[in-house]
Amino acid sequence: MRTSTGTTDATLTQTATTGDALSVARHPGWARLIIGYLAVAAVVPYLTLKLLWILGSTAGILAPSPLDPAVVQSGNIVTAVMELVAVAIILTFTHSWGLKVPAWLVLIPAWIGIGLLAPFIVNGPAVAGSVLTGLSPAGDGSLAPWVGPLVYLGFGAQAIGIAASFVLYARDRWNRVLTGRLAERCANPSKRALLFLGWGVGLLLAVVSTVRLCWSLGATWGLSAHMIQSRGLPERLADGTSALFAAAALAGLLMLTLKVPGRWRVWVPLSLAWVGGGATLTGGLYSLALLTIRLMSSTTPVHQTGVDPLVDLIQVVAGTAIGTAGAVLLSELHQTVSTDRG
């Protein structure tokens, strides 16, 4: 992730050997250890289920999936690997040796992982409750009723655990950067470009947030007849949380680029842009990936999807732009802190 001011790795990792990071280099603290291993424990149920399916078990499977078996197996392998990566990232946040890991190797997977799982903090309990009470089914009926709640609640627990672990890790590694005030961020030659990017991305996020909010409230314009017929609580909740995270990303990005309110600590808008941007990107990317799988599967009929893929594509573009802008802003913030020390 290279920016106009150098790599995120070259700038942010410097703080791991100075200031607050030195005080925790050998003592990560009980909070980081306990929360980290609780987060790892949250990964175990879903990872175990995936490993069982990869090995040929039918635990929790009531009927064959309508997808091609090779596609299903590939999906199980990919998601199992993603869970193993999540465990590696959590352990990096948990132990003192993680402070020496290059920043880009921490920030990129953490951003994607937190963004992918964050919606389940809201969706997980709601969908699990609706399935357990029989209000709405989860999935296409090929899985046992307990699988949906296990997956949704597990993802929500993972999101909380990974986010909490990262907060403690970032506090120890980049405390001076995160606790500065917005008004203290110095002007930079890239300021105008960032302002232009911020307003441009802001427009895309506003579109995403508005469309998803309308769909979550029951609007059906832009949706195909098949999508309207199959929509239930999980789909409407997914649209609602997508709207919420897009709005959070918009607010955080504009606050960072405009430096208002100046007295606010940097971590507030940075958190909004970080989580909101990651959720916006991964939500759109995940939906497009599912659509691609359906198109590639010869046994699955593909229905007309309306404008939903277009909205997903806008999310991917906006999320990628937020990641780029975030890298530049983080580099600027670190340079400001370094200049103040000098």
Name the DSSP class of 61: B
pLDDT > 70? residue 214: yes
pLDDT digits (tens, 9 = 90+) for 278-290: 999 999 999 998 8
B/e letters for 245-261, b = 16+ CB within 10 Å, e = fewer, are bbbbbbbbbbbbbebee
Give the C-alpha distances (Å, rounded to integers) separating 314 from 243, 279, 289, 309: 13, 13, 14, 9
How long a stretch of residues is the chain?
342
For residue 327, what pLDDT is reported?
Answer: 78
Of 85 and 235, which is predicted with more confidence?
85
In 253-337, DSSP assigns E strands to none
Q: Please check whether residue 89 is in contact with residue 106, taking contact to mean a CB–CB distance below 8 angstroms.
A: yes
Mean pLDDT of the chain: 83
Of 190 and 316, which is predicted with more confidence?
316
Confidence of residue 337 (pLDDT cuts 50, 70, 90): low
Domain boundaries, the chain: 19-173, 184-342
pLDDT digits (tens, 9 = 90+) for 108-152: 999 999 999 999 998 888 888 877 776 666 666 778 888 988 998
